[in-house]
Amino acid sequence: MDVIITADVGSTFTKLTAVDPAGRRVLGRARAFTTVGTDVMEGFEAARKELLLQTGRVDVVRLIAASSAAGGLAMVAVGLVPELTVQAARMAAANSGAKILKTYAFELNQAEVSEIAALRPDMILLSGGTDGGNKDVIIHNGESLAGSGLRCPVVAAGNKSAGDELARVFKNYPGQVIFCPNVMPEIDKPDIGPAREAIRKLFIANIIEAKGLGGLQKLADLEIIPTPSTVLAAAELLSRGTGGLPGVGDLLLFDAGGATTDVYSMARGDPTKPNVFFRGLPQPYAKRTVEGDLGLRYSLPSLAGAATISRLASRLREPAGTEPVWTEPAGADRAGGTAGGSAEDFVAGWLERCAADPGLVPRPGTLEKRLDDELARECVRLSLARHCGVLEPVWTFMGQGFVQTGKDLSGVPLVIGTGGPIIGAEDPGRVLGAAARVPEDLHLLKPASPRTAVDHDYILSAMGALARLEPEAALAIMRETLNV
């Protein structure tokens, strides 16, 4: 039979999936530790040997690969106005599969330029001004970056009137510079497609070698792309359908990890009530946001700060299935701290232990595991609050109305979870339940009562990659595996 192998080279594991596209079935899965510190091909070959033991001899093998090794594609976005060009630049970067390290608005000062250099981004997206509008800011920022000592590639996608001056500014820049159409040619009319394509080309041309993926690229039938791009493709395919196969309609997808939580929404998100007026940038049907401060290990301090220790402690005091009601730590073996402390002390102690050992995994059925699952719930709750639309009450001559910014996701019927913190939770459905709207959400346009599905087999990234060659097979496998 003809077999297609998908490879996802992650920061921790390299995961391979063998698929029979004609039979629309998965033949086997294997994984090995990613050997980014030496040669990623070592981990790839270890996983491939395991996969061949499962699948046996095959007649034809095609390989499609994606990667988030060594942190994936890390970018900085620079623009003019936070609500306009900066947001458009951020949208272009996120939908290209990048992790946004930070965004900057208005004229960069020396401290910000030094901060960008310290962040060591793989790429910078430079934007600012509508076509024919302000060009002074993007020229100033171009000069600041060109003289900073940075060498990373730059995608310049701002006011076309500044193009000639920017070309002069970057004439002696040691890194690669690509000029492409403005991400915001007119006010409130973003055009992120050209910038997204430029980012993809730079990823293929520069980042693959920098991440040590050159050997894998020689084996692959198509260009290696960032892993988040495959997940975005999988979510959109599952939502819209392809060919003669229908999709499932609007959905939300959460991909939680140790460092970030990615949110994908597949929905138009237009206002659903007559007294609501939309304001801000038009939202794409397929939207991705990356919350780099919401992760269960490497971003734990910022996650705990946003969730608050008191909120987490109060959750541990509540009954949860067959678990006992939390009162106080029973001892060092259970609480990770001193006996007789408070719930807040227990939470603080676990956070300290995880900071000292990011690889720490709690035992099933323990209070530490309950706390880890509560942290995963907070990743879902907080990331969606930033991703979804918001209603703001206003008064008009006709009475009270509302202004909507962002996407209205209140009618989304399906929430899907992937990533270790969600898949490994003792009750993944409860973790994803944090996506549903509750009274405290006030004007957040979150789903009212969605059903949930969990990517237990880590199939989404593999099917997003497979969709580049066999979209109908990828859709059929996702629908069956996720039971949607």
Structure letter (DSSP) for residue 456: T
Query: What are the distances in angstroms from CA 367 to CA 326, 335, 442?
Result: 8, 7, 31
Domains of the chain: 2-70+211-242+459-482 (3.30.420.40), 73-207 (3.40.50.360), 248-295+378-454 (no CATH), 300-371 (no CATH)
N residues, the chain: 484
What's residue 482's pLDDT?
96
Please answer whether residues 171 and 140 qualify as being in contact, where contact means their C-beta atoms are separated by less than 8 angstroms: no
Show Cβ contacts of residue 138 under 8 Å, excluding neighbours closer than 6 positions.
80, 126, 127, 128, 129, 156, 158, 159, 162, 166
CA dihedral 159→165→167→170, nearest 10 degrees, is -110
Joined together, the tokens standing for residue 50 give: 């395991």
The pair of structure tokens assigned to 381 is: 């709750």
pLDDT of residue 204: 73
Tell me if 192 sits within 8 A of 282, measured CB to CB. Answer: no
- Residue 58 is predicted with a pLDDT of 66
Residue carrying the six token digits 């509750």: 438
| Predicted pLDDT of residue 266 | 97
pLDDT computed for residue 332 by the predictor: 37
CA distance 365 to 408: 37
Mutual angle of helices 110-119 and 136-146, in 10-degree steps: 50
Provide the CA 163 distance to its chain's centre, in angstroms.
31
Q: Are strands 99-104 and 60-67 parallel, antiparallel or unpaired?
A: unpaired
For 97, counting Cβ atoms within 10 Å of its Cβ (0-12 exposed, 13-18 middle, 19+ buried), the class is: buried
What pLDDT shows up at residue 86?
A: 79
Q: Give the gyration radius of the chain's Cα atoms.
A: 23
The rounded average pLDDT for each run of 10 residues, N- to C-terminus, in the chain (484 residues) is 86 88 92 82 90 76 83 82 78 77 90 93 90 92 92 92 93 91 86 85 73 84 88 95 93 91 94 86 88 85 89 78 40 41 84 86 90 95 94 79 91 95 95 94 92 94 94 96 94
3-state helix, strand, coil in the chain (%, to 5): 40, 25, 40
